[in-house]
A and B are shown apart, each in its own frame.
Chain A
Amino acid sequence: MYTQALNVAEADDRGLEDAARAAQFQARIDAEERIEPNDWMPGAYRKTLTRQISQHAHSEIVGMLPEGNWITRAPTLRRKAALLAKVQDECGHGLYLYAAAETLGTSREELVDAMLAGKAKYSSIFNYPTLTWADIGTIGWLVDGAAIMNQIPLCRCSYGPYARAMIRVCKEESFHQRQGYEIMLTLCRGSDEQKAMAQDALNRWWWPVLMMFGPPDATSQHSDTSAKWKIKRFSNDELRQKFVDATVPQAQYLGLTIPDPDMIQDADGHWRHSEIDWTEFKQVLAGNGPCNRDRLAARRKAHEEGAWVRQAAAAYAAKRAQRQTAQAAE
């Protein structure tokens, strides 16, 4: 979206940003105007967005791996087609998001290289393994459900390209959660073994999914400025609560038990979960989750083994351009 060439970063390199411009910028944000790539923006806004959008893109791409793990083993042809289409969608979403990030002046290649070097983060949820078919149902139901909670407010994000990408993503993702829930429903209506498989998957994914919304508001680093800039419209805890309230009745319908015996419904109807183990979250974030190393290794392998293909395409394009120039000169 929009040309990179236009996004010269020179304005940001000036040590002192014009206070008047900054105030004008904030006024536009407050008036719910969208910021577009070539508009002036504070360096910190550009940096925050580049980081957030590229992390989001990395998450989509790394997220292809745990689900891709089951494409070749999906139990029916219908499920196989749906899962492949879903994982393909994640790839498309990664692609849209990289494009949105690129409008801020960093190329996809640079963003990807940072991820492969382990310098950029992606959603920790994808560092957990998919062990059974029920994990595919659970990911669709809960992980995509949590993602949708996060993403719908982002459709109104102050940065135009990000908001537009999210609108497209949300539109396409509407089938993902439904296909996940349908898998769970089929399991829960199936044999005892299938139902146990569904419960086991829920047990393993529940807490990591709650962690997807990020640290509690009291300790979150980025929320203040992100809220001021209308990149983020709800706090981590608000979104987490919304998700829990939406999910509990869905689990009840399936006849599954949320693995939180102390969860209670308060007087206002909200389901209050017990304390989240943030030590685990920090460990996974630090690279010590069950699959961190495997995920990065898989992405690096694809990248390195694809290098000769990308080089071939570039070499051919150069030859073709040369031939066309030669032809035109004749």
Chain B
Amino acid sequence: MTTPNTPLWEVFIRSRNGLAHKHVGSLHASDVTMALQAARDIYTRRGEGLSIWVVPSTAITASDPADKGMMFEPAESKIYRHPTFYEVPEEVGHM
């Protein structure tokens, strides 16, 4: 008999206050309560977390790698968005 699939969840953990939640992995659970418990039991065994998010994997919409060119390359030429683009004399000090 084949096993019915249990939903997949993505786990995000805030390791300490002040930091953003970071994707750490995934797990299987039947519902959101069990997913949160499983995330705690699997991904925070070594004191890695202060806060957990679980998200159904199916709820994530990802950009298509085929669109990489139009999605991300146009930003590469806008170097004037970075502070190093501008020259400030050394005498002025840190700015």
A317 at the interface (CB under 8 A from B): yes
Given known contacts A3-B58, A108-B28, A168-B25, A313 and B46 CB-to-CB distance under 8 angstroms: no
User: Please, which residues of chain A bring their CB within 8 A of the CB of B10?
Assistant: 1-3
Query: Mask for B1-13, Cβ within 8 A of A = 1, else 0?
Result: 1111110101000
User: Please, which residues of chain B bring their CB within 8 A of the CB of A96?
Assistant: 25
User: Which A residue sits closest to B60, measured CB to CB?
Assistant: A3
Given known contacts A96-B25, A99-B27, A3 and B2 CB-to-CB distance under 8 angstroms: no
B64 at the interface (CB under 8 A from A): yes
Most buried by A among B8, B27, B42: B8
Given known contacts A1-B23, A4-B8, A109-B3, A317 and B65 CB-to-CB distance under 8 angstroms: no
Query: Mask for B21-37, Cβ within 8 A of A = 1, else 0?
Result: 00111111111001000
Complex CA–CA separation, A2 to B11 (angstroms): 10
Count of residues in A whose CB is under 8 Å from the partner chain? 35
Complex CA–CA separation, A314 to B5 (angstroms): 9
Partner of A310, one of B6, B31, B62, B66: B6
User: Which A residue sits closest to B30, measured CB to CB?
Assistant: A313
- Contact in complex: B3, A307 (CB < 8 Å): yes
Complex CA–CA separation, A275 to B21 (angstroms): 52
Most buried by B among A3, A95, A108, A321: A3
Given known contacts A92-B42, A92-B45, A314-B4, A38 and B57 CB-to-CB distance under 8 angstroms: no
- Contact in complex: B28, A316 (CB < 8 Å): no
Count of residues in B whose CB is under 8 Å from the partner chain? 28
How many A-B contacts at CB < 8 Å in the complex? 78
A36 at the interface (CB under 8 A from B): yes
User: Please, which residues of chain A bring their CB within 8 A of the CB of B2?
Assistant: 109-110, 113
Complex CA–CA separation, A303 to B3 (angstroms): 9
Complex CA–CA separation, A307 to B1 (angstroms): 10
User: Please, which residues of chain A bring their CB within 8 A of the CB of B31?
Assistant: 313, 316-317, 320-321
A135 at the interface (CB under 8 A from B): no
Complex CA–CA separation, A303 to B1 (angstroms): 11
User: Which B residue sits closest to A1, measured CB to CB?
Assistant: B26
A57 at the interface (CB under 8 A from B): no
Partner of B57, one of A3, A39, A172: A3
Complex CA–CA separation, A6 to B61 (angstroms): 8
**How far apart are B31's CB and chain A's nearest CB, in angstroms?**
4
Q: Which of A248-270 touch B at CB < 8 Å? A: none
User: Please, which residues of chain B bring their CB within 8 A of the CB of A6?
Assistant: 62
Complex CA–CA separation, A6 to B66 (angstroms): 13
Query: Mask for A98-111, Cβ within 8 A of B = 1, else 0?
Result: 01001000011110
**How far apart are B46's CB and chain A's nearest CB, in angstroms?**
7
User: Please, which residues of chain A bring their CB within 8 A of the CB of B65?
Assistant: 36, 38-40
**How far apart are B29's CB and chain A's nearest CB, in angstroms?**
8
- Contact in complex: B25, A316 (CB < 8 Å): no
Partner of B30, one of A2, A113, A307, A314: A314
A64 at the interface (CB under 8 A from B): no
Given known contacts A36-B65, A38-B62, A92-B42, A310 and B26 CB-to-CB distance under 8 angstroms: no
- Contact in complex: A3, B8 (CB < 8 Å): yes
User: Please, which residues of chain A bring their CB within 8 A of the CB of B6?
Assistant: 109, 310, 313-314
Most buried by A among B1, B26, B28, B42: B26
The 3 closest A-B pairs by CB, nearest first: A313-B30, A3-B57, A317-B31
